[in-house]
């Protein structure tokens, strides 16, 4: 059996050139759109005192934007390890849903599924699920996932290395304001929906209300109860 067939890695032969070009173009534009966010992450992480290895480690091993930002923001604020990890995991619950959505498209040997699971992110899921046939979806997932992974990590390094740190850099250049701005940017598309908006306002209100009485980061975990504001009425 040819290697490509065993690994199910290379569905080139079934994805036509038009679909291939379309998918690659989408993957590159999505990866490029995501990379400024990684530059910002690299800058904020290194300004928050993470080493270069730790900063890149987040982008390689965690590899989900909002959870990376949340964990580093909570740590920078002196938050507990448990608060940083649990907030990140709650934000990443959607990865579970994406992984399940992609099950039919990720068939292959166990090691292959184990490897490509790391590429299950918002972008690769989006690129894959808009395609109509399995081969195109597989290709979309792989090309999208790899493109974002490579650019995401390179951009993280650019942010960590090029943005100056130390002293009063954070205050002087307003770098601390980039964190709420980044989170608002992630939240923004969700605010178009009235249920999501209700949950968001409840979440913000709860976090503010409990902040004076809880250790840093815990307020964010408690804000999860705001999902009750999204119950169907």
Q: Closest separation between CB of residue 39 and another protein, Å? A: 7
What is d(CA 191, CA 177) in angstroms, rounded to the nearest whole number? 20
Contact 158, 44 (CB under 8 A): no
Q: Which is nearer to another protein, 15 or 71 (CB)?
A: 71
Q: Closest separation between CB of residue 86 and another protein, Å? A: 9
Give the ranges where 15-64 is alpha helix by DSSP (H).
17-47, 52-57
What is d(CA 193, CA 187) in angstroms, rounded to the nearest whole number? 11
What is d(CA 13, CA 220) in angstroms, rounded to the nearest whole number? 48
- As given in the structure block, the two tokens for residue 186 are 């992630």
What is d(CA 226, CA 175) in angstroms, rounded to the nearest whole number? 29
Q: Which is nearer to another protein, 12 or 114 (CB)?
A: 114
Q: Closest separation between CB of residue 109 and another protein, Å? A: 11
- As given in the structure block, the two tokens for residue 190 are 């969700």
CA-closest candidate to residue 106, choices 118, 94, 93? 118
Q: Which is nearer to another protein, 50 or 127 (CB)?
A: 50
Q: Which is nearer to another protein, 18 or 168 (CB)?
A: 168
Q: Which is nearer to another protein, 154 or 186 (CB)?
A: 186
Q: Closest separation between CB of residue 40 and another protein, Å? A: 5
- As given in the structure block, the two tokens for residue 98 are 């994406």
Q: Which is nearer to another protein, 23 or 120 (CB)?
A: 120
Q: Closest separation between CB of residue 23 and another protein, Å? A: 20
Name the helix (H) or strand (E) containing 205: helix 194-210
Q: Closest separation between CB of residue 173 and another protein, Å? A: 5
Q: Closest separation between CB of residue 5 and another protein, Å? A: 19
Rg (CA), the chain: 20
Phi, psi angle pair for 91, to nearest 5°: -65, -30
Q: Which is nearer to another protein, 23 or 84 (CB)?
A: 84
């Amino acid at each position: 059996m040819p290697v490509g067939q065993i690994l199910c890695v290379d569905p080139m032969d079934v994805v036509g050139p038009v679909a291939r070009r379309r998918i690659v173009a989408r993957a590159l534009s999505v990866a490029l759109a995501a990379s400024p966010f990684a530059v910002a992450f690299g800058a904020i992480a290194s300004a928050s005192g993470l080493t270069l290895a730790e900063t890149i480690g987040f982008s390689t091993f965690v590899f989900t934007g909002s959870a990376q930002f949340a964990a580093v923001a909570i740590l920078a604020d002196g938050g507990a390890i448990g608060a940083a990890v649990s907030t990140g995991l709650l934000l990443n619950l959607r990865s579970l849903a994406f992984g399940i959505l992609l099950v039919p498209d990720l068939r292959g040997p166990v090691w292959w599924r184990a490897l490509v699971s790391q590429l299950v992110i918002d972008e690769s899921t989006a690129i894959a699920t808009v395609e109509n046939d399995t081969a195109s979806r597989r290709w979309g997932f792989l090309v999208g996932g790899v493109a974002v992974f490579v650019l995401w990590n390179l951009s993280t390094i650019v942010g960590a290395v090029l943005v100056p740190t130390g002293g009063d850099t954070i205050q002087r250049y307003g770098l601390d304001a980039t964190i709420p701005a980044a989170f608002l940017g992630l939240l923004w598309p969700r605010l178009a929906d009235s249920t999501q908006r209700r949950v968001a306002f409840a979440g913000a209100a709860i976090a503010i209300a409990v902040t004076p009485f809880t250790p840093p980061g815990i307020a964010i975990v408690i804000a999860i109860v705001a999902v009750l504001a999204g119950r169907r009425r």
